[in-house]
Chain A
């Protein structure tokens, strides 16, 4: 599928997803007098969360059932070898042999996206020579996106906990540090939108990336962008009755669902898109949230030369070792003048 078609398809699907709650909550009551708030505010969020948890656990268990018979860590540094070959801290992290090294490597991977930091770009330098240049923009965009998303999610805890955990007001205070506009603008929301736009433009503007980008790449970007936009619009522009919204969300997490009066349609669009994200999550590339912990190229130690790893699906084989072979033919071998590891037993003992 080419880029244009992928864009049209994923953009069209997200537009439809915005239209569904708009029709269901805003148009239907006006035209037919049917009220579907309970569907968008209670049923769909619950279904989505169930799909989210069951899907993730199922996927991880399926992955867990895949054998990893060989050590396949990517070896990004000198492996542990003879004592006079340098094996320092950098090597311990990039080519770990111990669990501590693997844990360190995983922490850097999960929290700092080290693989992306090592990203390089192949370019023609002056003349014909090929050069490899470090390319940190992807890393920067990914860091901005993931950490802003985390902050936004943690901020949302104010809607689903009562009383709030201690860290939520602290996060809000830091996030609204510049104290401009009213309600105070949270930087994380704007940065999240900016990072997503960058990650989208990156796919669109680089011909090589455009060629390998699929609907599965564009759709999550569009979906999360739509979630960010509806959230920002709801907070700063169209406004919503926050107390009623919290009553609804608290009803959801305490399993006493209610639909309070007077919640505007923008909230239902927002929560519907989030529900779609939750339900789509286990089937998508977003599963890297769990998958990063199960990456054999990162979470295995490079100890193939220290520990013997046996392929788990090896059939039970009957081995005939060299020692046994020599036992069978020792005398004949000695007669033929072949070297043997164990000398023949003395003739006295033999008799």
Chain B
């Protein structure tokens, strides 16, 4: 090989760059996060599958409806009426009361930074439970 030293050095540098995810992860299989589901309430405003993939769009519709049309009532597919409110409905004490145990688990795992919290204030959580979530 001509200029073999330079070419092999180039190949090695290229491989180091291209295999970044492999050596960065170094074979460590990270478990998928488990969200803490509400204990009593079993029924969300939509099906679980729908909420998994489309919750952000639903919340966006709620925001537009409340802020722009002043329409606050949401009728779920099963006929139940809900108040369109992130803090009072979704994150009520009965449901997803803790941002750190519900929202943040998946968002942190997938690197999503929702801008909900630019305006909303997440419900207060007892500080003594904080260290447990920091693992």
Docked pose: A256 CA to B14 CA in angstroms: 25
A160 interface neighbour in B14, B25, B59, B60, Cβ under 8 Å: B25
| Given A243-B110, A312-B2, A255 and B21 contact (CB-CB distance below 8 Å) | no
Q: Is the CB of A250 within 8 A of B29?
A: yes
| Given A183-B56, A243-B32, A253 and B2 contact (CB-CB distance below 8 Å) | no
Query: What A residues does B21 contact at CB under 8 A?
Result: 157, 160-161, 253
| Given A172-B111, A239-B53, A246-B110, A162 and B2 contact (CB-CB distance below 8 Å) | no
Per the CB 8 Å criterion, the residue count for chain A at the interface is 47
Is A240 engaged at the interface, CB distance under 8 Å to the other chain?
yes
Mask for B82-119, Cβ within 8 A of A = 1, else 0? 00000000000000000000000010011111010000
Interface of A is mostly: helix
Is B7 engaged at the interface, CB distance under 8 Å to the other chain?
yes
| Given A169-B111, A246-B109, A182 and B57 contact (CB-CB distance below 8 Å) | yes
Query: What A residues does B7 contact at CB under 8 A?
Result: 60-61, 63-64, 294
Query: What B residues does A247 contact at CB under 8 A?
Result: 32
Q: Is the CB of A250 within 8 A of B30?
A: yes
Is B122 engaged at the interface, CB distance under 8 Å to the other chain?
no
Query: What B residues does A336 contact at CB under 8 A?
Result: none
Query: What B residues does A159 contact at CB under 8 A?
Result: 110
| Given A160-B25, A251-B29, A294-B7, A65 and B2 contact (CB-CB distance below 8 Å) | yes
Interface residue ranges of B23-45 to A (CB < 8 Å): 24-30, 32-33
Query: What A residues does B33 contact at CB under 8 A?
Result: 243
Docked pose: A66 CA to B18 CA in angstroms: 25
Chain B residue at smallest Cβ distance from A62 = B1
Interface of B is mostly: helix
Chain A residue at smallest Cβ distance from B30 = A162
A254 interface neighbour in B18, B19, B28, B113, Cβ under 8 Å: B28
B25 interface neighbour in A158, A162, A241, A260, Cβ under 8 Å: A162
Q: Is the CB of A250 within 8 A of B56?
A: no
Is B54 engaged at the interface, CB distance under 8 Å to the other chain?
yes
Per the CB 8 Å criterion, the residue count for chain B at the interface is 38
Is B124 engaged at the interface, CB distance under 8 Å to the other chain?
no
Query: What B residues does A100 contact at CB under 8 A?
Result: none
Query: What A residues does B131 contact at CB under 8 A?
Result: none
User: Shortest Cβ distance from B46 into chain A, in angstroms?
Assistant: 13
Query: What B residues does A255 contact at CB under 8 A?
Result: 27
Docked pose: A164 CA to B11 CA in angstroms: 25
Q: Is the CB of B25 within 8 A of A161?
A: yes
Is A53 engaged at the interface, CB distance under 8 Å to the other chain?
yes
Interface residue ranges of A118-170 to B (CB < 8 Å): 157-162, 164-165, 168-169
Q: Is the CB of A253 within 8 A of B25?
A: yes
Query: What A residues does B112 contact at CB under 8 A?
Result: 183, 242
Is A16 engaged at the interface, CB distance under 8 Å to the other chain?
no
Q: Is the CB of B56 within 8 A of A158?
A: no
User: Shortest Cβ distance from B68 into chain A, in angstroms?
Assistant: 15
Q: Is the CB of B106 within 8 A of A243?
A: yes
Q: Is the CB of A65 within 8 A of B1?
A: yes
Interface residue ranges of A290-315 to B (CB < 8 Å): 290, 293-294, 312
Is A344 engaged at the interface, CB distance under 8 Å to the other chain?
no
Is A68 engaged at the interface, CB distance under 8 Å to the other chain?
yes
Q: Is the CB of A241 within 8 A of B53?
A: yes
List 15 A-B residue pairs with CB atoms under 8 Å apart, sorted by A's residue number. A64-B3, A67-B2, A159-B110, A161-B25, A172-B111, A179-B115, A182-B57, A183-B112, A184-B115, A242-B106, A244-B32, A247-B32, A250-B25, A254-B29, A262-B49
Q: A53-B18, A157-B21 are in contact. List 17 more A-B contacts (CB 8 A).
A: A57-B15, A61-B11, A65-B2, A67-B2, A68-B2, A161-B21, A172-B111, A173-B113, A182-B56, A182-B57, A242-B53, A242-B110, A243-B33, A243-B106, A253-B21, A254-B25, A294-B7
